[in-house]
Structure 1
Amino acid sequence: MKRGAILDLVLTNEEGLVGDVKLKGSLGCSDHKMMEFKMLRAARRAHSKLTTLDFRKADFSLFRDLLGRIPWDKVLEGGRTQDSGLVFKGHLLQAQEGCIPTQKKSGKNTKRPPWMNKELLGKVKHKKEA
């Protein structure tokens, strides 16, 4: 600690997520101090619902048609690269929302991607054994 300066701000992505912040001993010979805190469960969500895009049921012809209707020369004209990227992303996400449905992931399949079928799992297992 340098002359009594102490960290008095803990950043989180949700209010009330961290509590009971305490200052502990130093890290070896460093002037830095360790902090101890508790994660409060009340602020966390009970269940996280993971949804993914279901490309098997997607209507790619409609997706292509929607993006083909946009006059890209006029839409992207005169803008900075970053602004043009944001405009493109907005149009892409809007078309995606209308053409590619989402599916909820079950607890069984949350650790592997949806394209990982039994055949690929067998090959990966064989590779790991080798």
Structure 2
Amino acid sequence: MELHLGTDREPTESLWVRIKGSAGAGDIIVGVCYRPPDQGDRADEALYRQIGAASRSQALVLMGDFNHPDICWRDNAAERKQSRKFLECVDDNLLLQVIEEPTRRGAMLDLILTNKEGLVGDVKLKGSLGCSDHGMVEFRILRAARRAHSKLTTLDFRRADFGLFRALLEEYHGTKPWREEGPKTAG
């Protein structure tokens, strides 16, 4: 099923589809994108909003030619401002980039991004198709992807002992909590 992500009037060269999962398996959002090398900031921002909306899905695979040849994926760094903003979008949406080899003349322009570890596998760089100077990328979307387990703990503050917390703060600071001291003034 085709998806229309975002309500931007700024067009992007992207296609988004939802692949329905079988019983017990969740849906997968698949995006295909071409970002022209001379694309402006407004179109980039529209694309980033689409990526943000898609990354909230359970499983996302986004592939395409993003035309950011200056990005060093190993160091997560880039020279150009537009490339740094793209890296920020990838980081903000917790996406993993799975291509490991250059796809065009020593640069990694063609990428596969996913929000779920193990969702993409068997990535192979093949020869070019027709007259293209880009390498073809072949991969599999694996239905039995491992869920990434968060190491974050969610605290239940409804059961907290705030009296004990206040006493520990007083003991640590040697004073009453800062709220009771009143505002400090520059002297």
From the two aligned structures, give the one with the greater strand fraction: 2
Say which structure, 1 or 2, has more relative contact order (CA 8 Å, 6+ apart). 1
Work out which of the two has the higher radius of gyration on C-alpha atoms and give 1 or 2. Answer: 1
Using the size of structure 1 for normalisation, the TM-score is 0.27
Using the size of structure 2 for normalisation, the TM-score is 0.21
From the two aligned structures, give the one with the greater helix fraction: 1
